[in-house]
Amino acid sequence: MGGWLASRFGYPTAFIALGSLAFISLALWITQGPTTRRACDTRRDELDKMAEVDTSALFS
């Protein structure tokens, strides 16, 4: 995409467009991080149960 933008519209336009995409991605990551964390924490109780399993037989 960057190469196409640079060849079609010039380097300044390509840098602005790609920088804008990076900025938007960073803003979404910062603002939506708590939502994603809550969605991923729904299975934490299942993972805690798995940690209690005796794994000594696997390593002997």
pLDDT of residue 59: 72
Can you give the pLDDT at residue 6?
A: 93
Stretch 26-35: mean pLDDT, rounded? 88
Q: What's the chain look like in SS3?
A: CHHHHHHHHCHHHHHHHHHHHHHHHHHHHHHHHHHHHHHHHHHHHHHHHHHCCCCHHHHC
- Say what the pTM is: 0.55
